[in-house]
Amino acid sequence: MTNSHYRWVIVAAGGLLGCVAIGTMFSLPVFLRPIAEDTGWSVTGVSGAMTIGFLAMAFASMVWGSLSDRWGPRAIVLTGSVILAAALVLVSFSASLIQFQLLFGLIVGASAAAVFAPMMACVTGWFDTQRNLAVSLVSAGMGMAPMTMSPLAAWLVSTYNWRISFLVLAAIAAVVMIPVSFLVRRPPALEAMKAAGASGAAPAMSMTVKQAVRSPQFIILLLTNFLCCATHSGPIFHTVSYAISCGIPMIAAVSIYSVEGLAGLGGRVAFGIMGDRFGAKNILVIGLLAQAFGVLSYAFVSQLGAFYAVAVVVGFIYAGIMPLYAVLARENFPLPMMGTIIGGTAMAANLGMATGPLTGGLIYDNFGSYVWLYVGSWGIGIGAFLISMTFRPFAKPQGKMVAA
């Protein structure tokens, strides 16, 4: 099979690995009440495992990304897959809340992070054309998680108990992720560099990792990604609760989240195509501005139809812009350090996501309304837009070296 064809196998593998890994992580909301009712642990305590998970994903992302630069993406996603399956087995035997929080939050969260940065870095290295679309398709596979793994988890926990359900998820992770990990290969350009290095003829990189992580370009990517995710994190987590507070029934309110997720699948593909045509930075800047006003729109709706309309717009935009950070990283930094760079942006994204649940809860508890959550999210979104406009690619001679 030629490299031009095999690169799409890499895309499919990344999407499938991400769907299962992220899906097991984001299945926790389905288990909240069953676990609390069975064990007597508080819903808040069980939910705390998700916050720990976000933090674990944040700090593990750069570690896994850096290791993938050194050992290759296959070794990292395979290791993460094995640890994830084993951790889910251990979660099913949790005897205390703190044990559950550590096993699910730290271990499941950290092992799930072993997929995103290494696979995004891998995919960007396989594509010189259609790079935005390829990265967006991998992201779309990850975006399928709430529509596949979460319903599966809901069926399992309604048919069996939560402990057996976690054992089944562990089996699925092992059966699907471990074999698929063996399909992952280094990009041909990196293989060539590795072969040249073995013969003592490896070309010098245009910058060191230390220079890269201290560069204004990297810092701007981190800040923008953090603020971008802080913008949509609160609305994602609290819009269902907000809809219920507006008098919308629970089942209908939950469907708003599903509509947002479905719109996101289209957004990932559409933004990928637009990024290839008009440039990743241009589409990112426009998307960030649109996202700010999209989340603000929630403050002005109270009926189910209006919630659906805003959910389509917000889901389409925020899901579409997220893969563009990986493309910008690939366009500006040397390929051999791509795991480290994308791992850093993923760390910033997860830290941004960790702000939403807590901030939204504090705002509602203090003001009795979610309006200020959406106003605050709008302000953060404008900040992300303004910072993104300051991003400047590296000088042309360096860019040529990087693109090699």
What tokens were used for 53? 């998970």
Read off the DSSP letter of residue 215: S
Question: According to DSSP H, which parts of 298-332 are helical?
Answer: 304-321, 324-332
| 372 and 335 assigned to the same domain | yes
Res. 202: pLDDT tops 60: no
* 132-150: pLDDT as tens digits: 888 888 888 887 877 788 7
pLDDT of residue 258: 78
pLDDT at position 205, please? Answer: 60
Out of 187, 217, 238, a domain closes at: 187
- pLDDT tops 50 at residue 287: yes
- Band (pLDDT 50/70/90 cuts) for residue 198 is low
pLDDT value at 384 more than 90: yes
In a domain, 200, yes or no: no
pLDDT of residue 401: 40
Confidence bin at 3 (pLDDT 50/70/90): low
Whole-number Å distance between alpha carbons of 76 and 120: 13
**Which pLDDT value is given to residue 309?**
95
H/E stretch holding 332 reads helix 324-332
Indicate whether 261 and 364 sit together in one domain.
yes
Can you give the CATH number for the domain in which 361 is found?
1.20.1250.20
301, 302, 305, 311: CA torsion to nearest 10: 50
Q: Which of 187, 216, 241 is the last residue of a domain?
A: 187
By residue range, what is the domain housing residue 19?
Answer: 7-187
pTM value > 0.85: no
- 232-260: average pLDDT: 83
Report yes or no on 198 lying in a domain: no
* Amino acid letter, residue 126: W
> Which tokens is 46 given?
């069980």
CB contact at 8 A, 291 and 228: yes
Do 337 and 209 contact (CB within 8 A), yes or no? yes
Residues 294 and 351 in one domain: yes
Cβ contact 261:146 at 8 Å: yes
Taking all residues of the chain, what is their mean pLDDT, rounded to a whole number?
A: 87
Same domain, 179 and 211: no
